[in-house]
Amino acid sequence: MNHDKNVTATVGHLIDGQIVYDNGRSQPVFNPATGQSSTSVELASKATVEAAIASAEKAFPAWRNTPPLKRARVMSKLKVLLEEHADQIAAMITAEHGKVLADAHGELQRGIENVEYASYVTELLKGEISRNVGPSIDSWSEFQALGVVTGITPFNFPAMVPLWMWPMAVACGNCFILKPSERDPTSALFVAQLALEAGLPPGVLNVVNGDKEAVDTLLTDPRVKAVSFVGSTPIAEYIYAEGCKHGKRVQALGGAKNHAVVMPDADIGNAVNAMMGAAFGSCGERCMAVPLIVAVGDDTADAMIAGLKAEIAKMKVGPGTDNANDMGPLVTKPHFEKVKAFVDSGVAEGAELLVDGRGLKVAGHEEGYFLGPCLFDKVKPGMQIYQEEIFGPVLGIVRVKTLQEAMKLIDDHEYGNGTCIFTRDGEAARYFSDHIQVGMVGVNVPLPVPVAYHSFGGWKRSLFGDLHAYGPDAVRFYTKRKTITQRWPSAGVREGAVFSFPSSR
Ligand code: NAD
């Protein structure tokens, strides 16, 4: 491992406060709007990841004992730096992910809100105390840092999802190793460098870029105490099983297939506008995207389709660098091919393709991975486009007769990340949010992504583990409870030996 790189445009690793390169394996990073690559990313070897773990372990004792207020101040400073560099970070996201700049700013802002929440850590780490639990006995619980912890993140929110994890982990006194997505690694590394500028000591946050080799090293090394993962369900399941097998605390957030129920009494204009953003924003590459509308009644379905077709006709698709565009390209060529194949399969399985985005060409960007918005009617359970996460700009309408039928569909689906209902009926909305087997629910809100001071997580096969990401659950995930029971008998008081189990009887 060294500090020089023969190819300058290569994304390396951040270890012990330094950008380093191991000059081993690497892969190109593409601009999805042009199909061209001007950067590559190193894929860390086991030895490089082990160096990051050693650096984090070395930094831990001093950081654990740094007063929480000082740790919190680093977060406050980082928030300011992130705001100052927002345009630069958004440009990095757009160049590698493809999303429109305004959308990149939106994800960064959500990430900043997690940094802001982490800056309240002094409040959040106050323990619990009970006086006089027995004669002259007080008891309290405190929340201690775990040690070296890691986070493995997906391509679709390259800046925000890392910020769901490491700010709270380090604010709680841990040292963190981040493994960002190798498809769009630049913004996460840049943000980590800003954290150093904000005062984070070297080694408290290390970044290793890489693939399975890096991840497997983190999963199996006994010095790593906890793993946060966000990505697809097959990998989440693997991370959970492997991490648990190696004695680690694991939270692994997976994929999704979110349904929006539209009731006959809904404000159709609002529901159409909400669905346009929820289905096609960020090209459908969001785990809270809504790729399925469950319309209650044929009239509701017909009205939604009329509204959606009119709005889709107005959509602008093009490079994310132009904020006039509503939607950018898909992230990579293989992903583009995969989404297109889903559309083919929907047609082959008998769904009705009302809007076909497969032929879209963006002038001047012929090599970009652009797919136009697609709209299907008569989607049915069992079809591939109903069952599987497409992660593209493909919206399907499922027709049902009753709310109960809609809810049964949602409950029977393997994923349970998010869902929403559009209605003017408070009783229906309350019944839906009370009973539906999904972790995050919106009522007339299409993307019910919890704010930073709540926590984020799905149910069923959308999350493996117990605690959700960020918010109050993150404080619990990144700390272990220690309960101390203390007695100071009055001078001269002696008690005989007690052989029965201590109780307050
Ligand atoms: P992915 O599962 O392909 O990759 C996620 C991370 O896992 C990356 O860092 C990658 O390098 C690593 N990885 C990939 N294959 C691996 C393997 N075989 N062994 C070990 N590590 C491996 O996911 P993605 O395509 O980057 O992201 C999209 C997915 O993430 C979608 O399924 C989406 O729903 C999901 N997602 C979920 C949430 C959530 O909160 N539930 C949020 C964002 C994204």
**C-beta of 211 in contact with ligand 1 (< 6 A):** yes
Distance 13 CA to ligand 1 centre (A): 20
Tokens of 353: 């393709």
- Active site (catalytic) residues: 287
**C-beta of 279 in contact with ligand 1 (< 6 A):** no
Q: Are 139 and 111 in contact (CB under 8 A)?
A: no
Distance 404 CA to ligand 1 centre (A): 33
Which amino acid residue places its CA nearest to atom 42 of ligand 1? Answer: 287
- Bridge partner list, 134: 137
Long-range contacts made by residues 197-202, C-beta under 8 angstroms, separation at least 24? 197/81, 198/74, 198/75, 198/77, 198/78, 198/81, 199/73, 199/74, 199/77, 200/74, 200/78, 200/170, 201/17, 201/59, 201/62, 201/63, 202/16, 202/17, 202/18, 202/55, 202/59
The rounded Cα 160 to chain-centroid distance in angstroms is 7
pLDDT tens per residue, the chain (505 residues)?
Answer: 555 444 448 999 999 999 999 989 999 999 999 999 989 999 999 999 999 999 999 999 999 999 999 999 999 999 999 999 999 999 999 999 999 999 999 999 999 999 999 999 999 999 999 999 998 899 999 999 999 999 999 999 999 999 999 999 999 999 999 999 999 999 999 999 999 999 999 999 999 999 999 999 999 999 999 999 999 999 999 999 999 999 999 999 999 999 999 999 999 999 999 999 999 999 999 999 999 999 999 999 999 999 999 999 999 999 999 999 999 999 999 999 999 999 999 999 999 999 999 999 999 999 999 999 999 999 999 999 999 999 999 999 999 999 999 999 999 999 999 999 999 999 999 999 999 999 999 999 999 999 999 999 999 999 999 999 999 999 999 999 999 999 988 887 777 888 888 887 7
The rounded Cα 399 to chain-centroid distance in angstroms is 31
Q: How much is the pLDDT for 1?
A: 55
Pocket test for ligand 1, best of 156, 217, 473 (most atoms within 8 A of CB): 156
Distance 235 CA to ligand 1 centre (A): 7
Residue 331 backbone phi and psi in degrees, to 5: -70, -40
Q: Are 218 and 150 in contact (CB under 8 A)?
A: yes
Beta strand 205-207 with 175-179 is: parallel
Pocket test for ligand 1, best of 215, 228, 233, 477 (most atoms within 8 A of CB): 215
**C-beta of 218 in contact with ligand 1 (< 6 A):** no
Beta strand 374-377 with 352-355 is: antiparallel
- Smallest CA-to-CA distance from 424 within 259, 289, 271, 302 is with 271
CA angle 398, 340, 309 (to 5 degrees): 45
CA angle 158, 181, 384 (to 5 degrees): 95
pTM above 0.85, yes or no: yes
**C-beta of 430 in contact with ligand 1 (< 6 A):** no
Beta strand 137-145 with 479-487 is: antiparallel
Tokens of 316: 């602008």
**C-beta of 326 in contact with ligand 1 (< 6 A):** no
**C-beta of 389 in contact with ligand 1 (< 6 A):** yes
